[in-house]
Amino acid sequence: MQLSGYAARMLTSLTSGVAQYSLNFNETELDVGALVGKPIELKFSQQIRCASCGRMTNKSYSQGYCWPCANSLARCDLCIMRPETCHHHKGTCREPEWGESYCFSPHIVYIANTSGIKVGITRKTNMPSRWIDQGAISALPILEVETRLDSGRIETALKSFVSDKTNWRKMLMNEVAPADLVASKAMLLGEIPSLTSELRARPLSDDVINIDYPVIKYPTKVVSLNFDKTPVISGVLNGVKGQYLLLDCGVLNIRKFSSYHLTIST
């Protein structure tokens, strides 16, 4: 089998507690999980096409955009990575209408166990994909708020008590100890009662989501693969976790190479 197209983040879902992955090449959906245990080859054709305007670019910025789009699109602005810096209310949003639809919608503050407990935020409609993208083995939504800015304010406050980062190497090697997310939730919410009251944040249930991944062998040492250095990458696919393909020769972050024209062969 051989498929070609411009790469984007793998589409994800959760079925009976197991993460499902697919790649969409030219409207043909490839079940990536079905390839685990098989040899595959990925070839970069040296073409990169901007995911927004479609122009060819020598380098991808902000995971799939040309330089002009990366500097003009609201989705590429710093406030997407740091939602507490949202400036829509100041009238300076790059794309006010896009901001209204994306940022002024219900958002979830959550804790997840990726390489240890971390706090994060996501749009309500992006669960559980957000946790799968991060390689979390368990996750627990703790609060719902009305805007991205409000979720960012709560996340910033909680970063004083728990990390907001993932050690991606530990996540990929599956060096993750079990964690009591319910107890952590109770501790964290006990630290910010005035802020949750001010923002009218709605507490959520204690239903922990557990996630397994289609992996037959985790790496004992993480070697990053890069199409800019190695345009043809081949090996046995040992698994998929986060947005990474775990090959027997190294790990490949598919999302990092969004908008790269790839051919995948099995």
pLDDT in tens, 143-177: 999 999 999 999 999 999 999 999 999 999 999 99
3-state SS string for 65-106: ECHHHHCCCHHHCHHHHCHHHCCHHHCCCCCHHHHHHHHCCC
CA 259 to chain centre: 16
Residue 190 identity (one-letter amino acid): G
In this predicted model, what pLDDT tens digit does every residue of 193-232 receive, in sequence order? 999 999 999 999 999 999 999 999 999 999 999 999 999 9
> Largest alpha-carbon pair distance within the chain?
57
* Predicted TM-score (pTM) above 0.85: yes
The residue whose two tokens read 């990929």 is 172
pLDDT level of residue 27 (50, 70, 90 thresholds): confident
Burial of 168-179, coded b for 16+ CB within 10 Å and e otherwise, reads: bebbbbbebeeb
What residues contact residue 180 under an 8 Å CB cut-off, 6+ apart?
none
* Beta carbons of 40 and 266 less than 8 angstroms apart: yes
Q: What are the Cα distances from residue 58, in Å, to 46, 50, 63? A: 9, 10, 13
| Main-chain phi, psi angles of 251, to 5 degrees | -115, 145
Residue pLDDT, tens place only, 115-143: 999 999 999 999 999 999 999 999 999 99
Residues 126 and 80: beta-carbon distance below 8 Å: no
Res 26 pLDDT > 80: no
Two tokens, residue 102: 């994306």
Partners of 86 in beta bridges? none
